[in-house]
Structure 1
Amino acid sequence: MQKDEELHSTARRNSIVRRIAAGFSIAIAIFSIYVLGRTFSAVSLTDLRQAIAATSADQIATAALLTFVSFLALTGYDALALRQLRTRVSYGTTALASFTSYAISFTLGFPLITAGTVRYWIYSQAGLGPSKVASLTIVAGVTFWFGMVFVIGAGLAFQAEAISALNHLQPALNMLMGLGALAAIFAYLVWVTIRRRHVRIQGFRLELPGLGLTLGQVTLGVIDQCAAAGVLFVLLPHHGELDFFTFAATYVFACILGVASNAPGGIGVFEAAMLKAVPIASQESVLASLLLFRLIYYFVPFVLALAFLGAHEGFRRQKSLREAMRQSDENAPIIDDIG
Structure 2
Amino acid sequence: MSRSRETPPVDVEAELLEALPETQGSRFFPWLGRVLGQLLAFLLLAGAVYILWREFHDLSPAEVADAIRAWGWDSVAMALALSASSFILMGFVEFMGLRWAGARLPLPSVLLGSFMASAMAHSLGANLLVSGAVRARYYGRMGVSLQQTAAITVFQSFSFTAGLLALAGVSLLIAGSDEIARVSQIPVPVANGIGIALVVGVAVYITACRFVRGTVRIFGHGVTLPTMPVAAAQIALGALDNAVAAAILWVLLPADEVGFATFVGAFAPSVAIGLASHVPGGVGVFEGAMSTLLGGVDPAALAAGFLGYRLFFFVIPLAIAGIALALDTLAHRRAA
- TM-score normalised over the length of structure 2: 0.84
**Displacement of 1:202 after TM fit?**
8.5
Which range moved further: 57-66 or 16-25? Answer: 16-25
- Residue 177 of structure 1: which of 191, 194, 207 is its match? 194
Cα drift, residue 89 of structure 1: 1.6
Report the CA distance shift for 1:31/1:200 in structure 2 as closer, same or farther (over 3 A): same
Larger Rg: 1
Pair 1:223 & 2:234 matched: no
Task: Using the TM superposition, name which of 125-134 and 273-282 deviates more.
Answer: 273-282
1:184-199 mapped onto 2 (5 Å cutoff): 184-199=201-216
SS of alignment partner, residue 235 of structure 1: coil
Percent identity over the alignment is 26
Q: 1:157 to 1:40 in 2, by over 3 A?
A: closer
Residue 212 of structure 1 corresponds to 229
Aligned equivalents of 2:231 and 2:28: distance in 1? 35
List 4+ stretches of structure 1 deviating above 6 A: 10-14, 201-204
1:232-251 equivalent positions in 2, closer than 5 A:
232-238=249-255, 240-251=256-267
Residues 97 and 152 of structure 2 are in contact (CA less than 8 Å); yes or no, is this contact kept in structure 1?
A: yes
Secondary structure of the equivalent of 2:128? helix
Cα offset for 1:55?
A: 1.7
In structure 2, the partner of 1:324 is: none
Q: Higher relative contact order by CA 8 Å / sep ≥ 6: 1 or 2?
A: 2
User: Residues 43-54 of structure 1 correspond to what in structure 2 (within 5 A)?
Assistant: 43-54=59-70
Residues 52 and 288 in structure 2, CA contact (< 8 A), matched pair in contact too:
yes
Q: Note the C-alpha offset of 1:171.
A: 2.4
Corresponding residue SS for 2:191: helix
For residues 301 and 42 of structure 2, the distance between their equivalents in structure 1, rounded to whole angstroms, comes to 28
Conserved? CA contact 1:196–1:210, under 8 Å = no
C-alpha displacement at 1:13, in angstroms? Answer: 6.4
C-alpha deviation, 1:165, in angstroms: 5.3
Distance 1:115 1:316 in 2: 20
Give the length in aligned residue pairs.
310
Point out where structure 1 has 5 or more consecutive residues left out of the alignment: 1-9, 321-339
- Relative to the length of structure 1, the TM-score reads 0.84
Matched AA of 2:273: L
Tell me how far apart the structure 2 counterparts of residues 26 and 16 of structure 1 sit (CA, whole Å).
15
SS of 2:153 mapped into structure 1: helix
Q: How does 1:93-104 map to 2 (within 5 A)?
A: 93-104=109-120
Distance 1:76 1:201, change over 3 A: farther
Which residue is 1:332 aligned to?
A: none
Q: Aligned pair in 2 of structure 1 residues 277, 61: CA closer, same or farther (>3 Å)?
A: same
5+ residue gaps in structure 2?
A: 1-25
